[in-house]
Chains A and B, each alone.
Chain A
């Protein structure tokens, strides 16, 4: 409790609050740009935190994350283009509402839902993270190996239509993570005589390359411009906020359910905001008395999507801060910052550096609250700037910041080359069905899996069957079973469908507005 109060006072300074406000505004702006994800927002703005203190840097990035996830709702509602993947479900009802002249209602609902979702996520994080951090201590090498594998199987099944391609992407990521000096053996691997590769491929370089460059290439090919005509703001802001506030809090069950769904999915390593919002949207429709109105402008769809994806922002920090496993792709950047400042996820984060950790968590709560004034008052301005910026200025600007950000990481032009190479490869891999998310998760989880696997094998060197040490205690057996269960639940629906025992769901009919 003392740490919590100390943390609260450390962020309740003018500098702290201005940092959060700037972070939320910057995140909102980038998140509102179609194609720019929260991961990209964090990756692009990361270099600006290098000179900040650890707490201030984490506060800024937490606020950017919160703002970016919420910002995605703007273009989702106004021009039917999700600003971030987390806002995909927001388009289903938000855009029809805007077409009906209820843009402000949709924006107000998205804002209130995002604020509540953000605060609920922070509350969950404060309550769940410390006990989970204590649990993390009992995780040995074998358990960490299974946790890494669990994260990988989940992302492989969730991120794309093909399990095989998802797993292949994960393997490619894990192999990329092995480039450089071996964490246990200490030898250099796969550097092909290039000394600059001894340090390996930095996670952030890969993230920028795999997430930003394919979008740049795609935007250039499509010559994408702004679409100002399709998303005019109509109606009064004040009355819409009041109406939506009464609607949301008058029947809070949708909000509560969506927040709980968001939190549960957020804890699963690798599941991103797009998954949480789609699941919450689906459940809101399933429990609604008028499911047919979903997809035609039902505000409950917007509320479900936006509340759940903002719960995920803080919620996904639970596995990150306790086990070092990113709950969602943007968390990988936060992990990078933690490691850069010498902070290791686990119990120490809540004891030795408890003030910093609690300060970071609380700052996300403040960031959620700042969404209300920034989102509602700046909405019109952001809409105008974002949608009307000519793409031929936007694209070179993003490319320049991307190159600068990558170079600044280690003052290395080789890193810039690797970033461009991975990005170009990422674009073509996406075309053949191998998505960036499994590759990145493979890179993150590969390191954890390797350490766990090799350390377990070292301990078991005198055992007759060494790999049995991977399932030598109850916790590792449970985790191994979860891995098998995760793979089974992914494969089972497809098998049932193929064998004709389960009717194929017509998802197009359900999703299209």
Chain B
């Protein structure tokens, strides 16, 4: 197990920022943490990096306790902060070189390659870079060391759409090399596209684990009937059926032909079939006012 948290808890006075989080990540896995502001995402990541002392429970990376043996734990992690602040008196190259000296790894030809991929001039002073360009530099310093675990706190903030795709590709490539990636995000689509598993946090508690492969196999079907049907008999593959007048919604898992055969027997005015998606699950846990259902 690369990363493990056991009953990880953090209190700030009377406020519980994170409540008994149990999490396990294995090499080669991409895990997303979703949740609204104040749900405990950043607190969880900061506990894993040894920035915060747990109030209870523990977190460990490759068997090294994240607080008591923090340095060894951080040897296995590279981290992109959510609120990105860099040394403005350096150029991008100087920053990457400085951090590589602290991490004690040798920079190779991957640095210029990655700079070309990200389309960034690393010899430019950071003070003269836009926030998106700074984020690219910060992403380079995260990706270059090829640590077993990569932790990213809202990594696509301030990135343009093409750069966001580039980053997601890089994360997939990292996972294929055997690195594990843990990232928090507000953007459901990017989490859907890249993650293997997703943890949904709410008010500091882990409320749902979602296996994305299982989720991708589920379809959400929305049917508008042209006339009412008496005694509609739904087959076994139709799940969570909701009928509201002429409108019918359900979930489907399995081969598409059987679904289409059944639908062909119905008086359909409109039909919409789409992958289930995280949005429905996320909304289930974070309804309008963000309270637990």
Do A and B share a complex?
A: no
